[in-house]
Amino acid sequence: MVLKDISVDCVIFGFNNDKLNVLLWQGEIEPLKQLLNPEKENEQIKEIFEINPAHKSDRLWGLVGLHLQADEDLDGYAKKILQITTGIDNVYLTQVKTFGDTNRVPGLRVLTVAYYALINPDYHDLKLSPLAKAIKWYDIEDLPDVIFDHKEIIQNSLKKLRQEVQYHPVGFHLLPEKFTLTQLQRLYEIILDKKLDTRNFRKKIQNMKLLVDTNEKQTNVAHRAAKLYSFDIDIYNQLKEEGLNFRI
């Protein structure tokens, strides 16, 4: 049974081409109806789809999200949403906050619990699920018009990511398994929206002991090949628990 007054939305962040991107989608009505209410169509479910511009317009995009089901744990359902709408699995996912103004969705009283996910697009090929009419990465600096209060949800998630990245080692989830220090620096520069000094950045990162030299290098680049690093999962877990100071 679908809970008509609670939905779960995921802000999926990806880092690519030195840009921070968000994944947006347009849902496909018929399969969604079946997913959410296999037996019968009641008035409220009809309402969800008929009022909701996300399901009518080809022009508007929205966050990946669905109404919560009665028999699903909240955190588990956020994971499941990622899975069934994009094929993405096994990623860093964390609750942002719950949005619950009465007028956030016109004509329908529905709260949404927002999550953000951090993924590395190189490692997660999106498969277009039957639920999705369309799915697309948008640069965070250049978002299209979105439905409801999704703009606000994205801004809040970005703000939270910015906070998080300063005190916990989460940014790494946006990078490929092996990465260069320059990639890492760009990532921080973009999330924090601030130029960083390369020498100081490197010293700071190396002092954390979090990075492991893979003894590999870039290949086929038209300049000196950079060393590739990965991160140490034990030290990652320790830093995640203790916190770290990355106020730069």
Partner DNA sequence: CCAAAAGTGTTAGACCTACACCCATGA
Partner DNA sequence: TCATGGGTGTAGGTCTAACACTTTTGG
Query: Measured from the CB of residue 161, what is the shortest distance to a copy of itself in angstroms?
Result: 14
191-210 residues near DNA, rule: CB under 7 A: 197-200, 202-204, 207
Verify binding: residue 42, DNA, rule CB under 7 A: no
Q: Is 208 in the site for a copy of itself (CB under 8 A)?
A: no
Residue 2 burial (CB < 10 Å; 0-12/13-18/19+)? Answer: buried
% helix / strand / coil in the chain, to the nearest 5?
A: 35, 30, 35
Q: How many CB atoms lie within 10 A of CB 161?
A: 23
Report 79-138 residues binding a copy of itself (CB under 8 A).
Answer: 95, 97-102, 109, 111, 113
Token pair belonging to 238: 């320790």
Tell me if residue 97 falls in helix, strand or coil: strand
Helix H or strand E encompassing 167: helix 150-167
Asked if 247 interacts with a copy of itself (CB under 8 A), we say yes
Say which entry of a copy of itself, DNA, none residue 3 contacts (CB below 5 to 8 A, set by partner kind): a copy of itself
From 50, 73, 177, 216, residue interacting with a copy of itself (rule: CB under 8 A): 73
Contact 145, 39 (CB under 8 A): no
Of all helices (H) and strands (E), which one includes residue 190?
Answer: helix 181-192
CB 116 within 8 A of CB 96: yes
Choose from a copy of itself, DNA, none: what does 6 bind? Cβ within 5-8 Å by kind: a copy of itself
Q: Which is nearer to DNA, 101 or 177 (CB)?
A: 177
Q: Which residues bind a copy of itself (CB under 8 A)?
A: 3, 5-6, 68, 70-75, 95, 97-102, 109, 111, 113, 163, 166-167, 243, 245, 247
Q: Which residues bind DNA (CB under 7 A)?
A: 180-182, 197-200, 202-204, 207, 217, 219-227, 245, 248
